[in-house]
Structure 1
Amino acid sequence: MAIAGATALASVGAAGAHAAPANGRSTLTGSQAPWATSAHKVGSAHGAEKVTFRVYLPNKADASSYALAVSTPGNALYGKFLTPAQYRKKFSPTAGQVSAVSSWLKSQGAHVGSVPGNNKYVEATTTVSNAAKMFHTGFAEYSFQGHRLRANTTPLSVPTSAGAVEAVIGLDESATLARANVVPAPPVFKNAQPCSAYWGEKTVANTATPDGTTLPSSPSTFAPCGYAGAQLQGAYGMSGPIASGNDGSGVTVGVIDAYASPTMKQDLETYSAKHGLPKPNLKEVVPPGTYNRAVNKKQDPQGWAGEEALDLEAVHTMAPGANLVYIGAPNNYRDLDAIMNKVVDKHLADVVSNSYGYGGEALPKGYIKPQLDTQMQAAAEGISLFFSSGDDGDETGGVAGATPTPDWPASSPYVTAVGGTSLGVSQTNSRIFELGWQTGKSTLKDGAWTPPQPGTYMYGAGGGTSRLFAQPAYQKGVVPNSISQVYGGPAMRTVPDVAALADPTTGMLVGQTQLFPDGHSDYSEYRIGGTSLASPLFAGMWALAVQNHGAYGLANPTLYGASAASNDITKDQRAAYPGTIRVDYVNGVDAADGYSYTARSFDDDEPLTIHVRQGYDDVTGVGSPAGTAWLDAVTK
């Protein structure tokens, strides 16, 4: 559900502007969550509850033009990236701005915490009831997207004596809507047999089911067990470059997730040894208390551990020579934006993959603007940011009349949104087919697939047209008007930009220490997917380009300029490869409770508003990397 009425980049850019002062106070526009309506209100907030929030300060100069200029080939500023210190001097808030806000916070009885090196925010802690007094508002709890969330009941205001304030993040619980774009998320999962080592290895004709179940003849192929190592390198034409030393050496790829797995280092080393990858060079930047967090209504460390394993193993597969840095936020409900700011302001990586997002653009505009500032700083410093486009298509669920929307932050014009595909890899590690990831599901019932194929829409790559951001220059002339102007009016930013493997039915084999039902923990491998897979796969391949070219900043101007060298994902192969058979354990672990049999259709877009088509489309963008031709095109 998108924010109504926000139809241009300027509307978000102005989110931190003060409304006309009244009684010595300024109202922060865009500071009220669009879901905090009377219809969603379910109760009062707990006034005594402690809340940690961040008061974001506006930059002393607008960085948007510079961020795009240094990232755009042909511009006079192209490649003239700034160090973090240079960026701070040119754009960041001043020490005086920090002092004014800090003084006001202390005068109100709030405890003032950290301030990052770029002075972007002042962190503070107080009670909910005191926050209501400080910001002249009230707080209540609301029901939204299955969550019970706290939010302010009216827009926030601050005294003019506090100086300029861009936004306040953390008083409402919008950040709780962040989710990992991974399908499925553990606690524990094991592949069931039969599954194929490569596309087409095991079929209904040559392989019996383990329990004697008779299957229809179509589809005829059992799903892959999960691709790994040389299979994925070969499918995207990267085997030759990697073997010749173009393996990401000298490039640092960062992965940002919530929490951290205490066994990640050993799991990644085990996985690498099993799949012919060199020993990884991994650095973990994890705040105290991030490991082994207790689970409460806002926390899911176990699920995010699977995300971390997938992300790091995917990057290492496609860029086996790159340095890896994992940055774990201490939670998934408050601090992901602060962690991103840290990564950018300390320049911890050259390329960053982010496999999380929000189900749509229904966030306060004041929540979005500070993140845009961080993304602009990344581009200005030469850092390329990749975000998964989401796993729920256009967020309508195929329901007629529902409002379609892309996900945030994928919809930002300052990041590269990575959509998803279904992939067939041959016995010789070549790409047989690649289709848009949009899965239809049919279940075996009385010897037939029910409902008939393509079945019922299940999940697929996120995409669509933003209601927040105007069309960026790099999409002009590439994105059809039928997509960018789908709402009427001016052309808007569309998602995704590019694509890679995401379909969990043709997914990647991932290794992770899992806790099994009998209480023992063990390293185990299983197939997994989601655009959480596509983003780190693409980020890894981008590291190969960075090794050859040097820093890019925002990748999109280069990627759109080289779109002719990408694999254009179309429907041409759908007739030959309509789908596959997936076999799963009913209990997810072993055969004790039997098996389930489903047919999974490829490119089932019938109930959605986003579709695969020739050229740019809102499921796969300009397509996936096409080996050395793509590397040559993006590095020339």
Structure 2
Amino acid sequence: MQTKISMLCLALGAALGSMAMPVQAAAGGNAWVATATHAHALAATASAKDLAEPGMPIHIDVALKLQNRAVLDAFIADAHNPHSSTYGATLLPQDVAANFAPSDAQVQAVVDYLAKAGFTHITVAPNRLMVSADGTAAGAQTAFATRLIHAHDSEGHAAYANIDDAKVPAALAGTVLSVLGLQTVSHAHTMIRTAGKPGSGGGGAGTITGHNPTTFPTIYNAGGTPTASTVTVGIISDGDMTQPLNDLASFTSRNGLPAVNTQVVVAGPAGTDTSGTAEWDLDSQDIVGMSGGVGKLIFYTATSLSNSALTTAYNRAVSDNQARVINVSLGECETYAYQDGSMAADDQIFAVAVAQGQTFSVSTGDDGSNECGGSPRGTTPSYPASSPYVVAVSGTTLGTGSNNSWASETLWSKAGGSPSTVEPKPSWQTQGGGSTRDVADVAFDADPNSGAVIIVNGSNAQYGGTSLSAPLFAATWARMLAGHASLGFAGPHLYQVPSSVYHDVTSGSNGGESAGTGWDYASGFGSIIVGNLNASL
């Protein structure tokens, strides 16, 4: 593979040499140019009384554009085309930095611009794709021609939002992609559900009951598939990881498993939130149980679940390039991610991950076919599950027989799955209709009533949601990488293997979409028979 990478670098150099490099606007140009960050929906009802005071503090993350994006996209397509000479190739972070990251001069221009507008604590990400800074509402208006208003998020917490599109001077238009942190009203949430609440698929054979995470390899027939003991897996999380680490140690001890090699990487300022403890417990314990053990488990911990903080965490996981699989049991209405520019920023980060051979495993959501609720109306999926550069994992109700044998799966009625309204369909996805990304790809157990019995705050508790299905897939793919080290990004492989790899989910509805024979929006291809997948790769 190292030889292939060296040849690849020569090919990249030739391709780049044939393209005109980005040219900044003419010196002295004062025109404002729009970024991918649009005015928040609250702009329609905002009034002067809502305006934030000039000195209100904010933290922003400016996403910078990948350069030569067409070349990167072509490389990704070729690397997953069995007929290409670069099939199976991956990039190293230094390849990305040399060929696709903004130049030092471009980054410095953004840093200088922010400093001139009064921003402080300006920090540049190692891969030069993000610049973070602290400032004020007045600074945002000066730098990005946008006003901020006071508002509240869906939980009633104090928040703020921009009521104008974010703009930059024409000289920075070729560098700045979007400005994150100008709104905190819309943000991601966890996809975890407590057992005992309605919403199971029903109608299948077997018993619906909770499962110790260590039984999932038996249920999904891992057989002789290698464990993930040589693979590093990441988890996107937020807040204080003290209790999840303690619970993970209790889980391994009680189940007679080796202690897990763990690391907490704080992305951005350290957060203190502990409300997500059960979520990070569910992710970590099910990854360890389903994988048979991992080489290392890295918690990439965001300051909060705000869009800007999560983008920082995603970027850290990709710039580090240590975790081969990264679990994301989070999401929000894709419309909101599109509006505030975080979709544009995250998608290019995920694209780099694909080029490096990393796989993000993402929950499709626990609100059925429409993650957006009452407005926007229709069938709208969750983001980042709808990104074309991730694997979207839907959820089932799992029925089991004696000795933890698989008996049946039906669609969990709350599982997300529906066509994207804005994201393009990736080249490897041939199912569904139209030109937009089809969600989901695959599915695993998610119904909390057939969910995982884990340790939370030292005691047993049963949880589900697509926060269970995503780590089950992350662990499954980690096992595949242990046996087939050169596989890289999972997405295309899932569409190339035979149907015998899957338990086809053929019954159940999530509101706007129904499960049926073969691939469907609601459940993708269905759940994976782990041993069969391993034998087919």
Tell me the amino acid that sits aligned with residue 51 of structure 2: S
Q: Is the 8 A contact 1:44 1:141 kept in 2?
A: yes
Tell me the amino acid that sits aligned with residue 31 of structure 2: R
Please say if 1:59 is aligned against 2:66: yes
Q: Is the 8 A contact 2:323 2:358 kept in 1?
A: yes
Tell me the amino acid that sits aligned with residue 135 of structure 2: T
CA gap of 1:564–1:137, structure 2 versus 1, over 3 A, is: same
- SS in structure 1 of the partner of residue 124 of structure 2: coil
Q: Is the 8 A contact 1:388 1:417 kept in 2?
A: yes
Please list, as runs of the form range in 1=range in 2, the aligned pairs for 1:28-43 lying within 5 A after superposition: 28-39=34-45, 43=50
The answer for the alignment partner of 1:376 in structure 2 is: 351
Please list, as runs of the form range in 1=range in 2, the aligned pairs for 1:117-266 lying within 5 A after superposition: 117-142=126-151, 145=154, 149-162=159-172, 164-173=175-184, 176-184=186-194, 223-224=208-209, 226-238=210-222, 240-241=223-224, 246-266=226-246
CA gap of 1:394–1:100, structure 2 versus 1, over 3 A, is: same
Q: Whole-Å Cα distance in 1 between the matches of residues 408 and 161 of structure 2?
A: 47
Please list, as runs of the form range in 1=range in 2, the aligned pairs for 1:517-528 lying within 5 A after superposition: 523-528=458-463
Q: Whole-Å Cα distance in 2 between the matches of residues 219 and 165 of structure 1?
A: 51
Please list, as runs of the form range in 1=range in 2, the aligned pairs for 1:268-279 lying within 5 A after superposition: 268-279=248-259
Tell me the amino acid that sits aligned with residue 62 of structure 2: V
Q: Whole-Å Cα distance in 2 between the matches of residues 414 and 397 of structure 1?
A: 21
What is the CA distance between 1:221 and its match in structure 2?
9.2
What is the CA distance between 1:231 and its match in structure 2?
2.4
The correspondence for 2:100, drawn from 91, 104, 128, is 91
Q: Whole-Å Cα distance in 1 between the matches of residues 269 and 441 of structure 2?
A: 36
Q: Whole-Å Cα distance in 1 between the matches of residues 35 and 64 of structure 2?
A: 14
The answer for the alignment partner of 2:360 in structure 1 is: 385
CA gap of 1:407–1:397, structure 2 versus 1, over 3 A, is: closer
Q: Is the 8 A contact 2:505 2:527 kept in 1?
A: no
- SS in structure 1 of the partner of residue 229 of structure 2: coil
For residues 434-461 of structure 1, the C-alpha deviation after alignment (integer angstroms, 9 at most, x for no partner) is 11111xxxxxxxxxxxxxxxxxxxxx11
The answer for the alignment partner of 1:327 in structure 2 is: 300
Q: Which has the higher helix share?
A: 2
What is the CA distance between 1:493 and its match in structure 2?
1.1
Q: Is the 8 A contact 2:188 2:305 kept in 1?
A: yes
CA gap of 1:262–1:103, structure 2 versus 1, over 3 A, is: same
The answer for the alignment partner of 1:296 in structure 2 is: none
Please say if 1:472 is aligned against 2:426: yes
Q: Is the 8 A contact 1:72 1:558 kept in 2?
A: no
The correspondence for 2:522, drawn from 611, 616, 619, is 619
The correspondence for 2:290, drawn from 318, 326, 329, is 318
For residues 222-250 of structure 1, the C-alpha deviation after alignment (integer angstroms, 9 at most, x for no partner) is 852x2014421111001x225xxx10121
Q: Whole-Å Cα distance in 2 between the matches of residues 55 and 325 of structure 1?
A: 25
Please say if 1:494 is aligned against 2:448: no
Tell me the amino acid that sits aligned with residue 566 of structure 1: V
What is the CA distance between 1:401 and its match in structure 2?
9.9
What is the CA distance between 1:563 and its match in structure 2?
4.8
Q: Is the 8 A contact 2:214 2:292 kept in 1?
A: no
The answer for the alignment partner of 2:54 in structure 1 is: 47
Q: Is the 8 A contact 1:40 1:144 kept in 2?
A: no
Please say if 1:349 is aligned against 2:323: yes
The answer for the alignment partner of 1:402 in structure 2 is: 377
- SS in structure 1 of the partner of residue 382 of structure 2: coil
Tell me the amino acid that sits aligned with residue 269 of structure 1: A
The answer for the alignment partner of 2:88 in structure 1 is: 79
Q: Is the 8 A contact 1:417 1:496 kept in 2?
A: yes
The answer for the alignment partner of 2:247 in structure 1 is: 267
What's the % identity of the aligned pairs? 27
The correspondence for 1:421, drawn from 387, 396, 402, is 396
Q: Whole-Å Cα distance in 1 between the matches of residues 97 and 268 of structure 2?
A: 27
Q: Is the 8 A contact 2:149 2:162 kept in 1?
A: yes
- SS in structure 2 of the partner of residue 473 of structure 1: coil
Please say if 1:537 is aligned against 2:512: no
- SS in structure 2 of the partner of residue 286 of structure 1: strand
For residues 119-150 of structure 1, the C-alpha deviation after alignment (integer angstroms, 9 at most, x for no partner) is 11221211112211222222223566555642
The answer for the alignment partner of 2:77 in structure 1 is: 68
> Which range moves more in the overlay, 274-283 or 227-236?
274-283
Q: Whole-Å Cα distance in 2 between the matches of residues 399 and 87 of structure 1?
A: 41
TM-score with structure 1 length normalisation? Answer: 0.74
For residues 186-212 of structure 1, the C-alpha deviation after alignment (integer angstroms, 9 at most, x for no partner) is xxx9x89xxxxxxx9xxxxxxxxxxxx
For residues 461-497 of structure 1, the C-alpha deviation after alignment (integer angstroms, 9 at most, x for no partner) is 1110111123222222x33xxxx24xxxxx3211011
CA gap of 1:260–1:159, structure 2 versus 1, over 3 A, is: same
The correspondence for 2:119, drawn from 110, 124, 145, is 110
Q: Whole-Å Cα distance in 2 between the matches of residues 329 and 401 of structure 1?
A: 28
> Which range moves more in the overlay, 85-94 or 264-273?
264-273
CA gap of 1:382–1:395, structure 2 versus 1, over 3 A, is: same
CA gap of 1:284–1:156, structure 2 versus 1, over 3 A, is: closer
Q: Whole-Å Cα distance in 1 between the matches of residues 478 and 289 of structure 2?
A: 12
Tell me the amino acid that sits aligned with residue 273 of structure 1: S
Q: Is the 8 A contact 1:309 1:510 kept in 2?
A: yes
Q: Is the 8 A contact 2:213 2:452 kept in 1?
A: no
Q: Whole-Å Cα distance in 1 between the matches of residues 132 and 159 of structure 2?
A: 21
Q: Is the 8 A contact 2:332 2:372 kept in 1?
A: no
- SS in structure 2 of the partner of residue 150 of structure 1: strand
The answer for the alignment partner of 1:609 in structure 2 is: 512
The answer for the alignment partner of 2:3 in structure 1 is: none
Tell me the amino acid that sits aligned with residue 522 of structure 2: V
The answer for the alignment partner of 2:9 in structure 1 is: none
Q: Whole-Å Cα distance in 1 between the matches of residues 205 and 530 of structure 2?
A: 30
What is the CA distance between 1:399 and its match in structure 2?
7.3
CA gap of 1:397–1:370, structure 2 versus 1, over 3 A, is: closer
Q: Whole-Å Cα distance in 2 between the matches of residues 418 and 533 of structure 1?
A: 10
The answer for the alignment partner of 2:278 in structure 1 is: 306
Tell me the amino acid that sits aligned with residue 279 of structure 2: E
Q: Whole-Å Cα distance in 2 between the matches of residues 525 and 618 of structure 1?
A: 34
Segments of 5+ residues of structure 2 without an aligned counterpart are 1-21
Q: Whole-Å Cα distance in 2 between the matches of residues 137 and 282 of structure 1?
A: 42
CA gap of 1:145–1:307, structure 2 versus 1, over 3 A, is: same
Q: Is the 8 A contact 1:413 1:493 kept in 2?
A: yes
Segments of 5+ residues of structure 1 without an aligned counterpart are 1-15, 193-199, 201-217, 294-300, 439-459, 486-490, 514-522, 573-602
Q: Whole-Å Cα distance in 2 between the matches of residues 21 and 65 of structure 1?
A: 32
For residues 244-294 of structure 1, the C-alpha deviation after alignment (integer angstroms, 9 at most, x for no partner) is xx1012111111111133132331122123234333222222368746x2x
The correspondence for 1:547, drawn from 482, 502, 509, is 482
Tell me the amino acid that sits aligned with residue 474 of structure 1: W
> Which range moves more in the overlay, 501-510 or 550-559?
550-559
Q: Whole-Å Cα distance in 2 between the matches of residues 57 and 219 of structure 1?
A: 49
Q: Whole-Å Cα distance in 2 between the matches of residues 503 and 469 of structure 1?
A: 27
Q: Whole-Å Cα distance in 1 between the matches of residues 213 and 341 of structure 2?
A: 42
Q: Whole-Å Cα distance in 1 between the matches of residues 205 and 105 of structure 2?
A: 68
Q: Whole-Å Cα distance in 2 between the matches of residues 67 and 418 of structure 1?
A: 22
Q: Whole-Å Cα distance in 2 between the matches of residues 165 and 67 of structure 1?
A: 23
Tell me the amino acid that sits aligned with residue 610 of structure 1: E
What is the CA distance between 1:534 and its match in structure 2?
0.5
Please say if 1:557 is aligned against 2:530: no
What is the CA distance between 1:172 and its match in structure 2?
1.9
For residues 86-127 of structure 1, the C-alpha deviation after alignment (integer angstroms, 9 at most, x for no partner) is 111011111010111111111222114211111112212111
- SS in structure 2 of the partner of residue 249 of structure 1: strand
Q: Is the 8 A contact 1:463 1:619 kept in 2?
A: yes
